[in-house]
Structure 1
Amino acid sequence: MSLPRTLVLTNDFPPRQGGIESFVEAVVQRLPPDRVVVYARGQAGDAAYDRGLPFRVVRHPRGIVLPEPSVARAAAALAREEGCRAAWVAAAAPLGLLAPALRRAVDGPVVATTHGHEVWWARVPGARRVLRAVGDGVDALTVLGPWTGEAVGAALSDAGRRRLHRLAPGVDLERFSPHVDGGRVRARHGLGDRPVVVCVSRLVPRKGQDTLLRAWPQVLAAVPEAALLLVGGGTDAERLRGLAAGTRSVVLTGPVPLAELPEHYAAGDVFAMPCRSRRAGLEVEGLGMVYLEAAACGLPVVAGDSGGAPEAVLHGRTGFVVPGASVDETARRVIELLADPERARAMGRAGRAWVERAWSWERTVGRLEALLSAQE
């Protein structure tokens, strides 16, 4: 299979950081560089970033890229200039509306990718119509997994549902590894050799750090030497610091550089993020890459039951899924893992093996290449 020269259309591209940006960057950098050209959102620092890339990037001159006629003309002109024969819309809503114009330019498949926030689009009337139109216009619409497929599919026509394909993100198995040393992070925060529960995520209510903090007295009653390491920044930071006030066994690190994330995972013995759905199901977890990154580092995980998060855990084998709002169940599973280190390590080994088998970036890129190479 030879990948046709492909136009990538996206708002979500570095140097801006975020989950979708990381997904798109990881995929594009693994595609053959002579087969890729990117049309992306303009942003501060983009020229310096683009100079280091082995493929061409054209930046939209007015910042955010919208599905409007001027963008359709610019993207189509770039595709024709570069001899593109396929297009990847790296975030389906709303740029997937440009699929008909892109198909005329490339005379080949147009693939659009959803990342989880489209679940919200699928449940709000006006946005739902946009998502349905996207599904009707593309050749393939990708979803993270079964849960997001069902949620997004509810907004699509029968034809749109037939175009759904799974395209889950991958894990960098070299960066996130059981061989990473978390000793420097432990030393920095005075954790020594205590059993540590770690949570790496944005500090927002949906992620469930508050549930962990409310569960923490029960954990300490059973495992008095335990420590809780909350890694990340976000809008909920001040409230969480209030909940942790006076608890010397809890550390909030604040934001940390991306390059240091693996050693923060490695500083833990158990990973826990009891995420929960909010706002009548409009705010949900699409998948939860942090569970897979933790598993890749050899940690057992405790995950909440929001949205597609359970798909990132083999319950009872690589960790546990708990009701995200349940303080008692969260505490019970964390205690269970801390009290039986050998079982916890066995779950961590099983998690690493599962990620190697099913969640590599190479697997993800291969699936996308197959969709972009398909001819009707």
Structure 2
Amino acid sequence: MTVLVITNDFPPRQGGIETFVRSLCDELPADELVVLTSHEPGDTQYDASLPFRVVRDRSTMLLPTPRITRYAVQVLREYGADRVVFGAAAPLGLMGPALRRAGARRIVALTHGHETWWAGLPGSRQALRRIGAAADVVTTVSSWCEQRIAPALSPGTRIERLTPGVDTARFFPGCGGDAVRRRLGLGDRPVVVCVSRVIARKGQDTLIRAWPRVLADVPDAVLLLVGDGPVRARLELLAEPLGESVRFAGAVPWQDIPPYVDAGDVFAMPCRTRRFGLEPEALGIVTLEAAATGKPVVIGDSGGTGDTVRHGRTGYLVDPYNPVATAVRLVELLTDPVRAKMLGEAGRQWVAAEWSWARSGAELRNLLDV
């Protein structure tokens, strides 16, 4: 048997779905796996380093067009694949019926979060129903996503949880935070760190608005914002009156992320739901990575984020539109290091026990009957 993974989201492009799909591929037998994906600068060198086969379409975005559907069928037949995984159910899962006719015995369609708004709009809702009907299993990353997607699928569609894992060999207490602190001149100052794309949904502006209240109780505290994005200039302007107490580290390569998470005493990301509910936070794997690094977390209550925090035991969920409530939790953790350490240790144990890639890989192999 051979598994064909069809995905538009694959390295060397960086992103949450890319990491999810790539890591799941590592959990499948390399000699029984082939990936069909789009063209990306630097992909030839990247693909040469992989233990499994990668086929690149000439397009830079893989969509279920007639041409790409024919090409997917060709690849399926060429490699004798009889299992198919769609890296993102919408829209690639629309190729499901053609691949089934071509010999696919088992089809698993992964959802990540954007399918929740597909489920809420009439035209895309019908497309999502067709995707579910063509698949043996539709997976979801959080209980909230399942609640939103399930009503759009045909009765009887099998839905299973398949969550991202956390590499606890990369994210662990002491994985390089001291070096980052020295490089940035932070010393022993209390640090709240946020590692995320700098977009409106992630809520970095809420942290900046909360920061004067934090400084009132913890005058030497530093807010370290790691990442880049379209709203960075606006955030820098908002933070200007706060001087050096707010630091922008800019974009950091994926492989260098763990030390920046480790540099904080507290991890915070007050993410929020935008666009009338169409733009939520589906899960928030970075929250789990921070917990694996032994950090207590303060996270916005949006979409599926509740699955990534044990409120009061590994951190706190907060109203992402309320800077005062956010500041209260940050001050509590910065001024009570014993409690902060207790929550961080509990988070590390929880992630190691229940959020491993090995566990996610075993679930995918079970769904594929591999």
Corresponding residue for residue 167 of structure 1: 162
Q: Does 1:41 align with 2:57?
A: no
Amino acid at match of 1:367: E
Q: Does 1:355 align with 2:340?
A: no
Amino acid at match of 1:210: D
Q: Distance in 1 between matches of 2:48 and 2:85?
A: 22
Q: Distance in 1 between matches of 2:108 and 2:332?
A: 44
Any residues of structure 2 matched to 1:216-255 within 5 Å, and which? 216-247=211-242, 248-255=244-251
User: Which of 186, 190, 204 matches 1:191?
Assistant: 186
Q: Does 1:90 align with 2:67?
A: no
CA contact (8 A) 1:189 1:251 kept: no
Amino acid at match of 1:327: P
CA contact (8 A) 2:173 2:293 kept: yes
Q: Does 1:100 align with 2:100?
A: no
Amino acid at match of 1:279: R
Corresponding residue for residue 70 of structure 1: 67
| SS across alignment from 1:142 | strand
Q: Distance in 2 between matches of 1:349 and 1:92?
A: 36
Q: Distance in 1 between matches of 2:285 and 2:192?
A: 17
- Deviation readout 1:228-265 (Å, 9 max, x if unpaired): 10100001100110111032211011111112110000
Corresponding residue for residue 206 of structure 2: 211
Q: Distance in 2 between matches of 1:106 and 1:12?
A: 24
CA contact (8 A) 1:275 1:285 kept: yes
Q: Distance in 1 between matches of 2:237 and 2:174?
A: 35
Corresponding residue for residue 152 of structure 2: 155
Residues 106 and 172 of structure 1: CA distance in aligned 2, closer, same or farther (over 3 Å): farther
Q: Does 1:12 align with 2:9?
A: yes
Amino acid at match of 1:177: F
Corresponding residue for residue 264 of structure 1: 260
TM-score, normalization by structure 1: 0.96
Q: Does 1:292 align with 2:266?
A: no
Amino acid at match of 2:185: G
Alpha-carbon RMSD across the aligned residues, in angstroms, is 1.2
TM-score, normalization by structure 2: 0.97
Q: Distance in 2 between matches of 1:104 and 1:373?
A: 19
Amino acid at match of 2:319: P
Would you say how many aligned residue pairs link Structure 1 and Structure 2? 369
Amino acid at match of 2:33: V
Corresponding residue for residue 278 of structure 1: 274
Q: Does 1:370 align with 2:366?
A: yes
Structure 1 position 157, deviation (Å): 2.0
Structure 1 position 66, deviation (Å): 1.7
Q: Distance in 1 between matches of 2:56 and 2:258?
A: 31
CA contact (8 A) 2:35 2:53 kept: yes
Amino acid at match of 1:15: P
CA contact (8 A) 1:136 1:159 kept: no
- Deviation readout 1:345-365 (Å, 9 max, x if unpaired): 010000000000110001111
Q: Does 1:139 align with 2:136?
A: yes
Q: Distance in 1 between matches of 2:87 and 2:19?
A: 11
Corresponding residue for residue 330 of structure 1: 326
CA contact (8 A) 2:267 2:297 kept: yes
Q: Distance in 1 between matches of 2:188 and 2:220?
A: 9
Structure 1, unmatched stretches of 5+, are none
Q: Distance in 2 between matches of 1:302 and 1:154?
A: 31
- Deviation readout 1:3-61 (Å, 9 max, x if unpaired): x4101111111111111111111111232101101111122222121111111111112
CA contact (8 A) 2:27 2:362 kept: no
Deviates more, 1:128-137 or 1:303-312: 128-137
Structure 2, unmatched stretches of 5+, are none
| SS across alignment from 2:152 | coil
- Deviation readout 1:138-172 (Å, 9 max, x if unpaired): 11000002100011112222133xx1110000011
- Deviation readout 1:116-154 (Å, 9 max, x if unpaired): 111121112221111111111111000002100011112
User: Which of 316, 319, 343 matches 1:320?
Assistant: 316
Amino acid at match of 1:311: D
Q: Distance in 2 between matches of 1:104 and 1:141?
A: 19
Structure 1 position 209, deviation (Å): 0.6
Amino acid at match of 2:184: H
